[in-house]
Amino acid sequence: MAHIQVEANGIDMHAVVEGDGPAVLLCHGFPGLWYSWRHQLPALRDAGFKTIAVDMRGYGRSDRPTNPLEYGNQNIVADLTGVLDALGVERAFWVGHDFGAQACWAAALHATERVEAVASIAVPYGVGFARKKNDRDGETGARKPRGRKPSETYAEIAKQHFLHLNYFQDVGPAERELGSNPRLFLERIYWALSARGSLLDFKRFPSEGTGYLDVLADPAEPLPWPWMSEADLDFLVSEYMRTGPETAFIGGLSSYRAMDVNWEHDPDYGRASVYVPALFLCGEKDPVLQIITPKSLETMPERVPKLRGTKLIADAGHFAQQEQPEAVNDALLGFLRGELAR
């Protein structure tokens, strides 16, 4: 296992590289790090792949810009293609989870020549971005931004109950709350999003006077859990806190704040079709499945014509690759080998 630092898209990016062979780029979400793929790295290496697990912009040992405008889809894709450039990799299989999955879909759309195939965990292509008729400018033919801004939608929902997507929009409160309690936050959010958790309890809380830690319950079971040890959590906390509490979670928070950026500057995302081979995996108990509409999964084949399959991972929540690594590894390797054999 080699830890490397490379310059990509004007920032310093950290990645862990293992093995030789066809390249597999692993892109984590929030909360996550390269370490989120600790169970996939050796499995892919042993199967004959070159694995590249990055710390995404704003995380771990990569640079952490503080301007949310720098976290839009196209900038994130430029980071990742820059990492591939630095390693001399022309094309790769892109595997992503959560916001990392969004980055992989965006790469398939905007940097198709760099993408062999996409495997997405937890985030189907086009969530919340259904096609609309007459969505193009009559003169230029370019797509127009869809409806109202995401932040406006979040603010409307937050009138009914607490919504973290709305809470995260203002710079400052979330940084202070989560940065001053990093271990408590990470332990609670990992539990809440797991197969045993209860993330959707946030709907029971009013927005006024409520912070994110208020809606995240203490885990019902103390560490260690079957899929996370005390040492795992210690490592995650230390990596997030490398640059201090103010920027500990800037990567994830900025990705939420950049949703308006994507709405304005990437109107094709979710509406234009993606023509690379793809696989979608999701924990069967992932609360994201309860937040998104079933139609998102039903209509994905229309926008992803080469979708090879959708698989729900038993006894897994949002962190399927960590909660049920063997099942995820089997699905990924079957998909990758199948594409190489075509």
**Residues known to be catalytic:** 98, 318
Under 8 Å between Cβ of 265 and 295 = no
What tokens does 305 get?
């014509």
Phi, psi of 190 (to 5 degrees): -65, -40
Within a 10 A sphere around the Cβ of 2, how many other Cβ atoms?
Answer: 7
Q: H-helix or E-strand containing 262?
A: helix 259-265
* Cβ neighbours of residue 20 closer than 8 Å, sequence gap 6 or more: 48, 50
d(Cα 84, Cα 189) in Å, to the nearest integer? 31
The identity of residue 57, as a single letter, is: R
Phi, psi of 126 (to 5 degrees): 90, 15
| Whether residue 224 has a cis bond before it, omega within 30° of 0 | yes
Phi, psi of 58 (to 5 degrees): 95, 0
What tokens does 134 get?
């007459």
